[in-house]
Amino acid sequence: MQVKSDSPTEDAAVAVPALESIDIGASLPTLTLKNEKGEDIQIADLANEKGVVLFLVPKVDTPGCTTQACGFRDIYPDFSSLNFDMYCLSADTSTAQAKWQTTKELPYPLISDPKRSLIAALGAAEGGKTKRSHFVFAQGGKLVDKEDSCEASR
């Protein structure tokens, strides 16, 4: 997938990228975001070696999102044994994510998408908010399953 700019400027640091919609059968896009440590994460490379479960939370360190994240924490070993990596995606800062990850003992990486570029491409952006949802990508990066409106329950 190509990153398209809605802005007339060529400066990618200024332009907000608009990604193509990611539907079943589509691949993870070429996009760089930050993890909870502030390190660059190449989204297109997440599923190079394993399948990926990507779950989205509206706001870290809130009751519903903590219930959701801890539920995924508790089943993390099951997915790992099936050759899947797990990631939590939110629009929160890497700093907020790191604190939450530490206090809740979350074993998987968190990805910060402050411009909601990937969140929107997944169809999980509602105005200025993120819909609680999850997406499953097969090894190689193709979307094979999605639940774009989930409850926070375990």
Pairing of strands 51-56, 125-126: unpaired
Pairing of strands 40-42, 133-137: unpaired
Under 8 Å between Cβ of 53 and 34: no
Give catalytic residues, as residue numbers: 65
Amino acid letter, 67: T
Under 8 Å between Cβ of 17 and 2: no
Amino acid letter, 121: A
